[in-house]
Amino acid sequence: MTKADLIEEVSRVVEMTRKESEVIVEAIFDSIVRSLRSGDKIEIRGFGSFRTRQRQPRIGRNPKTGARVEVPAKKIPYFKPSKELKDVVNNSATPGSVAPGGAPGPGGTPPDTPPSPAPEQVPNPQ
């Protein structure tokens, strides 16, 4: 999904113009970037958390020439998905499964639906 796709989806779901949706999406991204630049951690329950990690300076190599290159220390953005997001992603391969919150769970059956009876066991005549 691209940023344009995300803006289109927001526009469709909240029934706003594309321009209004673009302002909302840009505001969210800008807020995340501003927080990361100031060293804050962003935590979105049920989705994950964003933070920065410090990389130590190191000696690298230029792949073309093989020459040694000093790579300076730097901060990199890091995203850690929540357990809920991991579960939704891993269970989405199952037909009929939907996000948590009372919707169908793994296997596509709602959580409060009793399991279906087991098929009859037919002996294998050998």
Domain span at residue 57 reads 3-90
Report the domain count for the chain. Answer: 1
| Whole-angstrom distance, CA of residue 108 vs CA of residue 110 | 7
pTM above 0.85, yes or no: no
- Residue 115 forms part of a structural domain: no
Q: Which of 49, 34, 37, 55 is nearest to 79 (CA)?
A: 49
| Whole-angstrom distance, CA of residue 11 vs CA of residue 90 | 27
pLDDT score recorded for residue 124:
53
Task: List per-block mean pLDDT (blocks of 10 residues) for the chain, which spans 126 residues.
Answer: 94 94 95 94 95 95 94 95 95 55 46 49 51
- Residue 81 forms part of a structural domain: yes
pLDDT score recorded for residue 96:
47
- Residue 112 forms part of a structural domain: no
| Whole-angstrom distance, CA of residue 119 vs CA of residue 26 | 53
CATH code of the domain in which 81 resides: 4.10.520.10
- Residue 60 forms part of a structural domain: yes
- Residue 40 forms part of a structural domain: yes
